[in-house]
Amino acid sequence: MKKFQRRDFIKTASVAAVAASACGLVSCNKKEETKTVAINTNKKYEWKMVTSWPPKFPILGEYAQKIADWIDQMSGGRLKIQVYGGGELVPALEVFDAVSFGVSEMGHSAPYYWAGKAPANQFFSTIPFGMNPRQMNAWLFFGGGLEIWRELYADFNLYPFPSGNTGGQMGGWFNKEISSINDLKGLKIRMPGLGGKVITKAGATSVLSPGGESYTNLERGVIDALEWIGPYHDYLMGFYKISQYYYYPGWHETSSNLELVVNRDAYMELPEDLKAIIDTAAKASNPLIQSAFDAKNTEYYYKLKDEENVEFRQYPEDVLQRLNKLTSDVVNDIVQKDPMSKKAFDSYTKFRKRIDSWFEISETEYV
Ligand code: CA
């Protein structure tokens, strides 16, 4: 599908006001004029939120619903949002288009699913061997990341908010031991994002499928291996029943930032209090989703290990080093061709170098 051009349909008169508010309620270096919409407490909004998660999916679907509930409560019922699981209103991997074109005003998903729309999108989920979730949030909120993300999404008539992080993920389910990089050759692996491109360089084939279809795909041999999230969700999906080895670390997703994404026109037309309510709900979801992942993954790590006797395997050091080198190649290819990817990656890298040094003395030494 061709890249969405907001100028195709936005009335000229409103463009200046809309563009001027690109930074919204977060701190922003750009000088901006805020388009102020008077608060009319009689006006009620009924919105939809489409998600990439199976209906009522633990943590992700639950928090999508909580966000809708909080917004309803904080707005005194003036903004009601009906939440849809993936496939209920639109397919799981069409959230971006659905919100962009206003089929739904809101979506909950992950930016790396939209690499096909703009390569830079994936830098706002995660980069293999990249920052951890706290560092990622620090970059997004205080290191200029969110500004670049909003600039990128504005081309698609979208307005994104960070909305949770899965934390470091697991390295995937395999029925074959990975002793050397050559063991990845020829395997069809469900792995989205930049990680998927890295394993492609290693000779595997990356398959992007919604989590809900992955069990059947693995069982039927459509794919040979898969990564999904971590112990909690992977347990619920039952992957341990059809796989032998559970590899770590999740080198490809050291921190996967999730998104609450809003149709930009719909957002900009809201009165200021409702904008602030959405912003606050997204911010509340951010640490809670991360904490829920951390707590549940701990619980289910023990369940898989002690009750299901899953074989946890560590990727050999030389395999990780090779994958790390391939990551640099993949990222360099992308940033050389796409200025927006370069802008995002340069900002990410600059911030990362500095925060890594800080974490080295503040956190790593302690651990
Ligand atoms: Ca994953």
In the chain, the N- to C-terminal Cα span, in Å, equals 47
- Given a cut of 90, whether residue 192 has pLDDT beyond it is no
Coil vs helix vs strand at 317: helix
Rounded distance from Cα 211 to ligand 1 centre (Å) = 9
Rounded distance from Cα 279 to ligand 1 centre (Å) = 26
Mean per-residue pLDDT, 194-212: 90
Rounded distance from Cα 152 to ligand 1 centre (Å) = 23
Mean per-residue pLDDT, 310-318: 97
Mean per-residue pLDDT, 32-38: 59
Rounded distance from Cα 154 to ligand 1 centre (Å) = 26
Residue with tokens 């670390």: 249
Rounded distance from Cα 103 to ligand 1 centre (Å) = 27
CB 348, CB 131: distance < 8 Å:
yes
Coil vs helix vs strand at 223: coil
Rounded distance from Cα 15 to ligand 1 centre (Å) = 37
Please give the Cα distance from 213 to 54 (Å, whole number).
10
Rounded distance from Cα 31 to ligand 1 centre (Å) = 37
Rounded distance from Cα 229 to ligand 1 centre (Å) = 4
How does residue 8 score in pLDDT terms, banded at 50, 70 and 90?
Answer: very low
157: number of CA atoms within 13 Å, CB side? 24
Mean per-residue pLDDT, 334-361: 97
Rounded distance from Cα 132 to ligand 1 centre (Å) = 14
CA 244 distance to own-chain centroid: 28
Closest alpha carbon to 106 in 313, 291, 260: 260
Dihedrals phi, psi of 257, to nearest 5 degrees: -75, 135
Rounded distance from Cα 12 to ligand 1 centre (Å) = 41
- Given a cut of 80, whether residue 268 has pLDDT beyond it is yes
Rounded distance from Cα 166 to ligand 1 centre (Å) = 9
Rounded distance from Cα 111 to ligand 1 centre (Å) = 12
Rounded distance from Cα 176 to ligand 1 centre (Å) = 19
pLDDT in the model for residue 351: 98
Write the pLDDT tens digit of every residue in 127-170: 999 999 999 999 999 999 999 999 999 999 999 999 999 999 99
How does residue 35 score in pLDDT terms, banded at 50, 70 and 90?
Answer: low
The residue among 120 and 30 whose pLDDT is bigger is 120
The amino acid at residue 298 is: T
Please give the Cα distance from 150 to 124 (Å, whole number).
10
Q: Which two tokens stand for residue 280?
A: 């606050």
Q: Which two tokens stand for residue 352?
A: 């990362």
The amino acid at residue 15 is: V
Within 8 A by CB and 6+ apart from 334, the residues are 119, 341, 345
Rounded distance from Cα 230 to ligand 1 centre (Å) = 8
pLDDT in the model for residue 281: 98
pLDDT in the model for residue 21: 39
Closest alpha carbon to 54 in 64, 42, 44: 64
Rounded distance from Cα 30 to ligand 1 centre (Å) = 34
Rounded distance from Cα 155 to ligand 1 centre (Å) = 26
Question: Would you say the C-alpha torsion 44, 50, 56, 57 has a positive or negative sign?
Answer: negative
Rounded distance from Cα 325 to ligand 1 centre (Å) = 20
pLDDT in the model for residue 37: 67
Please give the DSSP secondary-structure letter assigned to residue 118: -
Residue with tokens 């001027």: 20
pLDDT in the model for residue 365: 77
Rounded distance from Cα 142 to ligand 1 centre (Å) = 25
Strands 106-109 and 257-263: antiparallel
